[in-house]
């Protein structure tokens, strides 16, 4: 398997790449790469570059660009998951798995039944969460690292989605474990799938949403939907909704590869 690295776009010149020192160290010390080895470089704007290493030492690495192509693995539809904050391992697991499946952005949300209530706890974890998003994107061969919004209360998050900071949501759902009327599938079927560019999904904590939280979300334009008659753990619900939304919108089909 060819190693893949997201690096800042300004490290990529027309014919050569100069790797940031920490990537160079990882290449030499951990991956034991040497001059002549080939790697794939990603610029996080959706392009990938085949690069042959020419020089590598613990703090420096450089290589020449052999080919450039657009990454075809990115979904056309941008799915933003508003995830209730929960215990560390569970939240990290959701970030990793939903990135692999194709989520475009994550917004950590504090609700009244969340296990984690302090925004500061969340902000301390941002560097680690960003590393998880980058590594998951490299591993699953995406061209973009999902965007991570800062943690917000549910009121702020609803306001941000509807007030235009994230754009007016054409499709927004709240997963409600007690909403047995409308399934996610039926709700999506009623929309014109080709017209959907952005989707927002709010996933509740272990203890679920309170009734006022569901009402506030509905008022903000979020439609309550069900994932079926069984109550899923929030981490199961988050990966399930990501897979179901992207599958129903045709984003789980294979696309032509940029080259052989
Ligand atoms: N006892 C909680 C309640 O009363 O809502 C169960 C919460 S469930 C473990 C965690 C979250 O996953 C829920 O808030 C909801 O967002 C989502 N969820 C779980 N199962 C679901 C289902 N069948 N349909 C829709 N959402 C579900």
Which is nearest to 199 in space by CA: 226, 176, 222, 224?
A: 222
Strand blocks (E) in 142-237:
147-148, 152-153, 172-175, 198-203, 223-225
Using CA positions, which residue lies closest to atom 12 of ligand 1?
A: 234
DSSP codes of every residue in 100-113: HHT--EEEEEE-TT
Average pLDDT of the residues in 75-94 = 96
Q: Which among 83, 86, 113, 177 is the best mutation to test ligand 1's pocket, defined by most ligand atoms within 8 Å of the CB?
A: 177
What confidence tens digit (pLDDT) does each residue in 29-66 have? 999 999 999 999 999 999 999 999 999 987 899 999 99
Contacts of 138 (CB under 8 A, 6+ apart): 4, 5, 6, 42
Burial code of 38-54, b = ≥16 C-beta within 10 A, e = fewer? ebbbbbeeebbbbbebe
| Residue 162 confidence class, pLDDT cut points 50, 70, 90 | confident
| Residue 259 confidence class, pLDDT cut points 50, 70, 90 | low
| pLDDT(256) > 70 | no
Question: Given this model, what pLDDT does residue 167 score?
Answer: 57
Question: Given this model, what pLDDT does residue 260 score?
Answer: 45
Taking the centre of ligand 1 as the mean of its atom positions, its distance from the CA of residue 237, in whole angstroms, is 7
| pLDDT(164) > 90 | no
| Residue 169 confidence class, pLDDT cut points 50, 70, 90 | low
Ligand 1, residue 204: give the atom nearest the CA. Answer: 14
The per-residue pLDDT of the chain, averaged, comes to: 92
State what percent of residues in the chain have pLDDT above 90.
82
Using CA positions, which residue lies closest to atom 2 of ligand 1?
A: 208
Ligand 1, residue 228: give the atom nearest the CA. Answer: 23
């Amino acid at each position: 398997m060819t190693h893949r690295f997201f690096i800042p776009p300004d490290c990529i010149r027309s014919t050569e790449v100069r790797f940031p020192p920490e990537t160079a160290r990882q290449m030499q010390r951990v991956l034991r790469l040497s001059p002549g080895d080939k790697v794939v470089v990603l610029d996080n704007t959706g392009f990938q570059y085949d690069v042959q290493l020419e020089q590598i030492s613990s703090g420096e690495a450089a290589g020449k660009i052999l080919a450039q192509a657009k990454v075809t693995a990115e979904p056309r539809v941008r799915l933003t998951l508003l995830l209730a904050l929960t215990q560390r391992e569970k939240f990290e697991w959701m970030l990793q798995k939903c990135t692999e499946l194709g989520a475009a952005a994550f917004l950590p949300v504090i609700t009244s039944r969340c296990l984690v209530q302090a925004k500061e706890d969340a902000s301390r974890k941002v560097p680690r969460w960003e590393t998880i998003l980058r590594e998951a994107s490299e591993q699953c061969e995406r061209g973009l690292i999902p965007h991570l919004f800062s943690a917000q209360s549910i009121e702020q998050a609803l306001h941000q989605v509807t007030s235009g900071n994230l754009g007016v949501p054409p499709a927004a759902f709240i997963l409600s474990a007690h909403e047995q009327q409308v399934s996610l599938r039926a709700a999506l079927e009623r929309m014109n799938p080709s017209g959907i560019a952005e989707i927002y999904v709010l996933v509740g904590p272990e203890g679920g949403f309170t009734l006022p939280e569901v009402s506030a979300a509905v008022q903000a334009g979020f439609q309550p939907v069900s994932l079926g008659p069984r109550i899923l753990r929030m981490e199961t619900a988050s990966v399930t909704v990501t897979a179901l939304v992207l599958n129903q919108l045709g984003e789980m089909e294979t696309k032509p590869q940029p080259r052989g």
